[in-house]
Structure formats: structure tokens, C-alpha cells
Amino acid sequence: MNVLVTGGAGYIGTVLVPMLLEKKLKVTLLDNFLFQQKFEIEDKNLKLIRGDVKDYSFVNKILSENFDFIIPLAGLVGAPLCEIKPEEAKEVNENAIDFLCRNANKDTKIIVPTTNSGYGIGKKNIYCTEKSPLNPISVYGITKVNAEKIILSRGNAISLRLATVFGTSPRMRLDLLVNHFVYRALKYKKIEIFEGDFKRNYVSVYDVARAFIYSIDNFERLKDNIFNFGLENVNLTKIELAKKIKDQIPDFEYILNNNKQDPDKRDYIVSNEKILNTGFKFKNTIEAGIRQLIEKNVQDLDYSKCSNI
């Protein structure tokens, strides 16, 4: 099979693409290498293309290859970055997806990562399921919700509403909440937490990559569906997350600041029962993810090169 992965040199892509190659799939990786990251894998089944999903004439030439699957990872990811660049966020996260859907072969299957941030602010103690109303409260959430609608209306697609992703990757990101907390715990031994009771769901980047493989292997059974994708029993407040990190970094101190507000107002709990009922099994716990970040010595990384903002 022939797979196109846009944004394949990013945080998720650099974990996913080696898994695709291990399955002996033919992979075309399209990335603009905005962060000057390196992709050092050499494989006869890998075609590496430097380019931008906003360059529609260029993308159209690539689509002439008629892929079996497209996994569109290219995007402006995260609420802070999209607030800074709202027009580009719409262009990349939404318009480029629309272009892919309209110009890819109608038989091409699409597996898209969206986000459970589309739930916005949930009701206390009520789990958000795939049938819950969407109420995105950020530019990022809005563009991803719109992209999901575009792809599902095309048919022949699966949407994975990802929880907040954590863990190590060849293209590391330290601006994601778990990774950021661990970085500060190791480097500065403390962090200031705003609105510490806000909850969200979490998932390992390793399991996210596995989810795409699972979706390819089970596409006919899963297609034209939305799946929340996060650890079922890991709907944590920021304070609960900090405590889990302190369990492994005892000299870490977290300070609650009730006088400041977090610009990211997401606060909800999520049910991931639907994906679990298909037979998918998560392999990486949040405790293991924290341990892996510690072992990677993330405090020694250059934050400016490991962040989307």
C-alpha cells in the first residue's frame, strides 16, 4: 500500500513513519521542515519531499500518485500558536484539508487527527462522548472541528479526536502540557499553575502512532466514524498531573496562583469507551511517559527549538 503523510517530520510523524515502514508500506513524507528538524531514516520505501501543503499546485502533482491512504498531520497545532496566527491556522488546518479531500482520488482513504479540544468547556462530572455537542473555544479547536466535518462529509474516512499528547519523539515538543511540566520540574524544580482544577485527557504519542496503524489494519470496520482517543482513566486536573510528576521528581514544587487565568480555557472529561470497544489497547501509561521524558533528559533540550510557539 501507498501512504501519504503530510507533516510527517513533526512530533507525531517521526514516531509514526518508522512504524509504517516496519509494515513494509510505501510512504511519501511531505513536510516543510519549518523547525529545521532532521529526518535521518533511510528506507527504499520512503520518499521524502520538502514542500508546503499550502502550495496547492505542488500538492496536486503529488496526489497524481493515487495513494491508498492519506494521513494529514501537517497543521498549526495548539491553541497558543493558532491565536498568534489565526489566518494561517485556517489556511493550513482547514483549507488545505479541504483541498486534499477535493483532489485526492475518491477511493483514497483518509485518517485524520483532530482534537478533543472541540468540546471546549464541559459540564462538571459529565463525560464527553463522540455524540456530545462541540463547542470549540479557540481558533485551533474551531479549525480542527471544521476540518473533521469536511473529511467526514467526503466519506471513506476516520477521525481520531486526540487527547493532549505526551511523550518522547525524535522531533520533540516541550510546549505540550505533560512535556512542559516535566521540563520545568527537571530544569527549574518548580512551576506556577493557573486554574489548577481545569481537567483534560491525555495520551502517549506512541499510542497515537499505533492508532493510525490500527486504523489502516481495520479500516473497513472503523471507517466513517469518530473516535475519542485518550487514556480512559486519565482525565486529570493540572494539580493531579503535577502530583504524578512529583512522585517521580520529589524535589519538584508546584505553586498555585489563583490570581491569574490560563488563556487555554479547556476544561472537560472525556470517555474513550468507543475506541476501546473496537479492541484497541493502549500500551503507554502517563507514569511511563513521565519516566521516559526524565530518562531523555528533556531539561537539556533547547526549548525554543522544541516548541511550536
Residue 67 lies in domain: 2-166+202-229
Is residue 261's pLDDT more than 80?
A: no
Query: 237: domain CATH number?
Result: 3.90.25.10
CB neighbours of 169 closer than 8 A, spacing ≥ 6?
11, 12, 14, 15, 205
**Contact residues for 228 (Cβ-Cβ < 8 A; gap 6+):** 116, 128, 129, 130, 161, 163, 201, 270, 271, 272, 274, 275
In a domain, 207, yes or no: yes
Q: Note whether 10 and 171 are within 8 A (CB).
A: yes
pLDDT at 172: 95
Domain assignment present for residue 35? The answer is yes
For residues 152-172, give the mean pLDDT. Answer: 96
- If asked whether residues 33 and 46 sit together in one domain, one would say yes
Q: Which DSSP state fits 120? A: -
Characterise 189 by phi-psi region: left (phi > 0), alpha (psi -120 to 50), beta (else).
Answer: left
Give the N- to C-terminal CA distance of the chain in Å, as an integer.
35
% of residues, the chain, pLDDT over 70: 99
Task: Examine the domain organization and report whether 213 and 72 are in the same domain.
Answer: yes
Asked, for residue 120, whether it belongs to a domain, the answer is yes
Please tell me whether residues 194 and 106 are part of one structural domain: no
User: DSSP for 275-303?
Assistant: HHHTT------HHHHHHHHHHTTGGGS-G
> Same domain for 258 and 206?
no
Domain match, 189 and 73 both: no
Indicate whether 241 and 130 sit together in one domain: no
Say yes or no to pLDDT of 264 above 90.
no
The mean-pLDDT minimum among 257-261, 297-301, 303-307 falls in 257-261
Over residues 48-59, the pLDDT tens digits come to 999 999 999 999
pLDDT by residue (tens digit) across 170-211? 999 999 999 999 999 999 999 999 889 999 999 999 999 999
> Mean of the pLDDT values across residues 214-235?
97
The whole-chain average pLDDT of the chain stands at 94
276: in domain: no
35 with 307: CB under 8 angstroms?
Answer: no
**Are the CB atoms for 141 and 83 separated by under 8 Å?**
no
The percent of residues above 90 in pLDDT, for the chain, comes to 82
Q: Report pTM.
A: 0.95
pLDDT reading at 266 higher than 90: no
Angle between helices 56-63 and 96-103 (to 10 degrees): 30
Does residue 13 sit in the same domain as residue 155?
yes
246 and 212, same structural domain?
no
Residue 263: band (very low, low, confident or very high) from pLDDT cuts 50, 70, 90: low
